[in-house]
């Protein structure tokens, strides 16, 4: 089975839509978790205002510096660092350092979900891809210039596994629902 993807989308690419959706969903999850753990709405407002900007700035800077100043684009690792910077800036301004730990934990829960959503955008943009591959679930890209390539579906696998990590993290976060599973995974970490 081969999936065909045309990367010529015109004005609005699915990549942009998925990046925005990743921020919306990820910040929503963080806010819900933070509210459940007693973080103030004022701090959450700061989180919503600071984190996306910090994430995009770090994502652009990492790509720029890692390419020796030749390219500019979004790097997922830079975005991850930016989200943590945004969380730290949002929480530290209140000088309540207990909130900082809680907010970092909740950001850590939300990041795999955000990453999996953004990887769907990468899948449809063709911006980053796996090695050349013609097997099961291979992706066949055709760009605006008519250039073609068939590659391993690394973004598809990342999306699935990161979503699984998010679900397992949420199940562990709610220990009263699955106490045996929580004990199995959380006890060795203490």
Q: For the segment 147-159, what is each residue's pLDDT rounded down to a tens digit?
A: 777 888 888 888 9
Q: In whole angstroms, what is the distance from residue 183 CA to residue 49 CA?
A: 36
Using an 8 Å Cβ cutoff, are 80 and 111 in contact? yes
C-alpha 133/C-alpha 86 separation (Å) is 38
Q: pLDDT category, 173, cuts 50, 70, 90?
A: confident
Q: Chain centroid to CA 110: how far?
A: 8
63 or 174, higher pLDDT:
63
Query: What is the span of the domain harbouring residue 15?
Result: 2-189
What is the CB neighbour count within 10 angstroms for residue 86? 26
Greatest Cα pair distance, the chain, in angstroms, is 55
Mark out the alpha helices in 127-178 (DSSP H runs). Answer: 154-173
Domains contained in the chain, number:
1
pTM, rounded to two decimals: 0.80
């Amino acid at each position: 089975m081969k999936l065909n993807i045309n990367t010529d989308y015109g004005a609005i690419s699915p990549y942009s839509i998925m990046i925005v959706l990743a921020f919306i969903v990820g910040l929503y999850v963080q806010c819900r978790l933070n509210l459940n753990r007693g973080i103030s709405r004022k701090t959450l407002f700061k989180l919503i205002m600071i984190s996306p900007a910090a994430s995009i700035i770090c994502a652009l800077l990492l790509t720029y510096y890692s390419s020796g100043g030749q390219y500019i684009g979004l790097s997922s690792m830079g975005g991850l660092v930016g989200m943590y910077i945004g969380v730290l800036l949002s929480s530290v301004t209140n000088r309540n350092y207990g909130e900082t730990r809680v907010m970092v934990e909740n950001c850590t829960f939300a990041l795999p979900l955000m990453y999996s959503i953004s990887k769907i955008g990468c899948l449809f943009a063709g911006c980053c891809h796996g090695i050349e591959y013609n097997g099961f679930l291979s992706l066949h890209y055709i760009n605006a210039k008519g250039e073609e390539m068939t590659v391993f579906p690394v973004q598809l696998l990342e999306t699935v596994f990161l979503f699984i990590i998010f679900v397992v993290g949420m199940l562990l976060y709610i220990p009263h629902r699955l106490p045996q599973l929580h004990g199995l995974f959380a006890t060795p970490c203490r």
